[in-house]
Structure 1
Amino acid sequence: MEENKELEKKKNINKMIIMMFLCVIVYNFGHPGTPALIEMRGWEKSVSGELLAFMSVAMFISSPYLGAIADHIGMKKLFIFMPFIYGTSQLFFGFVPQLPLVFIARVVSGFASGGTYAIAFGYVSQLSKSGEKAKNIAKVSSATVIGGAIGQKIGGMVADIDPRYSFVLQFICGSIVSIIILFLMKEIICRKDKTEKLDPKKLNPFATFKYIKDLDNYSRYFCLIILLSGIGIYSYANALNYFLRFNEKVSSNTIGTFVMFSSLTAFFGTAFLLEKLVSKFKEKNIYKFMILIGIIFMAVILFEVKLDVIPYVIMAIYTMSYEMVRSLGNTIIAKRYKENQGKILGVASAVGSLGNAIGSLLSGHLLKMSEFLPFITNIAVMGIVFLLILFNKFDKEKIEKN
């Protein structure tokens, strides 16, 4: 009987992994066509970063809200609507010319995206044994990387016909995925007392920052590192597609191909290379090394771009390096504590989301001022990050026993 229950749980975990794979494919259809859409509308280049910033902030806010609600009313009940809501908002994004409505559509997309990830990770974590949580969550993450690569490629091909078509495809496929979830997924509620009422105070998306005071000095210091890393990485990463479209006149299909290649390279780095490095070196030393390597790569990229060359391979390897940096940041903080992992990683994730939003907001304005500024800003900010890691004074603090 117990064995049958475990088999059922594994089946449901695998179903969620498949659903996330499908969701992320759909969610990435529109990215390669977005620069062409902005160009078609005649909007300012800075709008690209502003839209991404709004979406990042919405993702940050929606995760605790929708995750907590799903715990109480049932995860499937909420998850089923996420692809449909995302696709509907993207349809508005693609066809409504009024910029204020476009920003609202982007916020709704961010809410749906943040809710999708929060519910999926919560679902898998709830069904996993204690010793298998990390492995199963890693499977979800790997599925999203591969799904994102496929989605970007398909979206780029469709956007070459007409950038608006990729958003139509998101609506159609998002609706289909919601129907698949309806018939395939099993409902779970993540609380023991099903009569317990939902406490609105627990839904405060900014409550995570109260936990910062519970961290040791080194962990708080490293949260600053994660924040700055997010700003440095995304001031470049979120400007790159627009740089390729606006400045290099690259087709949406080519952008999709490049992003797919970059995603696959990042998957190799996080799924295989990082595992090998961690088995031989300390995470902190790997983190420093990858930051330094990233700075060197970015300097080479800037030099090549100034020579009117697009170094796609080096850009893809840089993408791998910063994905490894992002993975390591959470691990470094989490390993300092034996308990309260959800709370600890919640702080790290929230700080990372803020860095992403700030970097996204900067990216469009930097690109508007100069095509080289996103690259220069990345080098400058990541240089500061490297020095902060190299000369921090909290490095020798003992790991917490709690």
Structure 2
Amino acid sequence: MKQKSLRKFLFFNFLIMAVFNFAHPVTPRLINELELPSYMFGLFFALMSIGSYIFSPIWGSLSDYKGRKRFLMIGVLGYGTAQLGFGLSQSAALISAFRVLGGVLSVSYIAVVMACISDLSSPENRAKSLAYLAATTAMGSAVGSNIGGWLGATNYKYSFIVQFAACIAITVALFFLTNETLEKKKEGKAVLALNHLKLKKSSLDFKSILGALILTVAFMNITTTSYNSTIGYFVESDLKLPTQLNGLILSIVPICAVLVNFLVNPRLAAKYDELKTLIVVIALTGGSLFIWAYSSNLIVMGIFLVIFFIVMPLAQPIYQSMISKHAKDNAGEIMGIQNSARSVGMVIGSLMAGFLYDFGSKLPFLVGSVMALIACLILILQYRREKKTSA
């Protein structure tokens, strides 16, 4: 029964991620047609990430008390509504408000679906299930980017309108076709996870493996956001390619993610130590992105760009697996904390990319690669600390 529900949620995740990505290829056109400054692509991404950071642990902790299903539906319908407002707005202030709202609501789905997959997976199969979640996320992102590019070819607003309609349809389908995954809810009055908003020393020990993982999640999301938030604008404004090709280019990384998460990650999880594997993956991610951005030789650029596309998607399911192993009766809250770390990285990465772009179109990629190498160093130190402790 759990396996059937797991497959159903993975299929829904594919559909939802496709719809969530309809507007990404046309956002650079929105910025250009409204004659907004170039740094706005980073600012809009950052505002959404701020909303995600604030509410990710809140939605996650609420789902531990109230169940998962309602928060999945809130996330899908809420994001579709926020995106409609974003796409039809004409002023930077109104767009910014809808970006924050989009982050607040979309993360209700993103944080809670990871907890759903954990609910439906045995401890020994959790890594594989989360790898499949990452794969369906990537597959949906690739399909959605291509569809969105074609929908917005004549008018970027069409992508947002269709996105809203699809979110309504999927919310209805979630209501009728899925069941609650949380077998035992927390008892008592719901307690909101608000520690990440308090100006006090973190309850996480950053010298522990969990603390190091959460910290490096933030660094790695600076890297991925520097790439993801810049590449669409780079293609639209520097390379002058149409939205259809922009959508195709934006789908390359998700397509690679599908392949590696279905074919490579389950084998890595079964055969190798997760922490050592994660260190190697992050080192290759940062190194390949740096060489691609720094080099002027087309062959070298091509080789290391392919390496980057292959290794970048490997990190997320390893992170999810390792962090989920530390979750006991608060999987929703822990996944929410992880998502907040992602959001911090996304805020920093997007703002940094937006403002660095004017000084050099490849600077966001170079600085992002340095952040990955810092994350790699932190995990190497943690690995040595763990070996010393166990010796």
Partner of 1:366: 356
Alpha-carbon separation, structure 1, partners of 2:84 and 2:339: 29
Offset at 1:189? 5.9
Q: TM-score, length-normalised on structure 1?
A: 0.83
Partner of 2:313: 323
Unaligned runs of 5+ in 1: 1-6
Q: 1:302 aligns with which of 293, 296, 302?
A: 293
Q: 1:17-32 residue pairs with structure 2 within 5 A?
A: 17-32=10-25
Alpha-carbon separation, structure 2, partners of 1:178 and 1:122: 18
- Counterpart of 2:292, as a letter, is I
Q: Which moved more, 1:270-279 or 1:50-59?
A: 270-279
User: Does 2:226 match 1:212?
Assistant: no
Partner of 1:350: 340
Alpha-carbon separation, structure 2, partners of 1:77 and 1:341: 18
User: Does 2:233 match 1:242?
Assistant: yes
Instruction: For residue 204 of structure 2, give the secondary structure of its aligned residue in structure 1.
Output: helix
Partner of 2:77: 84
Partner of 1:120: 113
- Counterpart of 1:258, as a letter, is I
Alpha-carbon separation, structure 1, partners of 2:380 and 2:116: 39
Offset at 1:394? 3.0
User: Does 2:92 match 1:102?
Assistant: no
Q: Work out the number of aligned pairs and report it.
A: 388
- Counterpart of 2:349, as a letter, is G
Q: 1:227 aligns with which of 189, 194, 218?
A: 218
Instruction: For residue 349 of structure 2, give the secondary structure of its aligned residue in structure 1.
Output: helix
- Counterpart of 2:224, as a letter, is I
Q: 1:197 aligns with which of 189, 192, 215?
A: 189
Alpha-carbon separation, structure 2, partners of 1:178 and 1:345: 22
Q: 2:261 aligns with which of 267, 270, 285?
A: 270
The Cα RMSD (Å) is 3.4
Q: 1:185 aligns with which of 178, 187, 196?
A: 178
Please tell me whether the aligned partners of residues 56 and 339 of structure 2 are also in contact (alpha carbons under 8 angstroms): no
Offset at 1:145? 1.6
- Counterpart of 1:290, as a letter, is V
- Counterpart of 1:230, as a letter, is N
Instruction: For residue 387 of structure 2, give the secondary structure of its aligned residue in structure 1.
Output: coil
Alpha-carbon separation, structure 1, partners of 2:52 and 2:306: 25
Alpha-carbon separation, structure 2, partners of 1:218 and 1:14: 31
Instruction: For residue 161 of structure 1, give the secondary structure of its aligned residue in structure 2.
Output: coil
Offset at 1:70? 3.5
Instruction: For residue 396 of structure 1, give the secondary structure of its aligned residue in structure 2.
Output: helix
Q: % of aligned pairs identical?
A: 24
Offset at 1:318? 1.1
Please tell me whether the aligned partners of residues 130 and 320 of structure 2 are also in contact (alpha carbons under 8 angstroms): no
- Counterpart of 1:370, as a letter, is G
Q: TM-score, length-normalised on structure 2?
A: 0.85
Pick closer, same or farther for the CA change 1:334–1:381 going to 2, 3 Å: same
Alpha-carbon separation, structure 2, partners of 1:188 and 1:277: 27
Alpha-carbon separation, structure 1, partners of 2:284 and 2:181: 44
Offset at 1:15? 2.7
Query: Which has more radius of gyration?
Result: 1
Alpha-carbon separation, structure 2, partners of 1:23 and 1:57: 21
Partner of 1:394: 385
Please tell me whether the aligned partners of residues 72 and 190 of structure 1 are also in contact (alpha carbons under 8 angstroms): no
Offset at 1:248? 1.0
- Counterpart of 1:354, as a letter, is V
Alpha-carbon separation, structure 2, partners of 1:312 and 1:257: 17
Pick closer, same or farther for the CA change 1:190–1:97 going to 2, 3 Å: farther
Partner of 1:38: 31
Q: 1:13 aligns with which of 6, 28, 44?
A: 6
Alpha-carbon separation, structure 1, partners of 2:128 and 2:283: 29
Offset at 1:97? 0.9
Please tell me whether the aligned partners of residues 125 and 133 of structure 1 are also in contact (alpha carbons under 8 angstroms): yes
- Counterpart of 2:371, as a letter, is V
Pick closer, same or farther for the CA change 1:391–1:357 going to 2, 3 Å: same
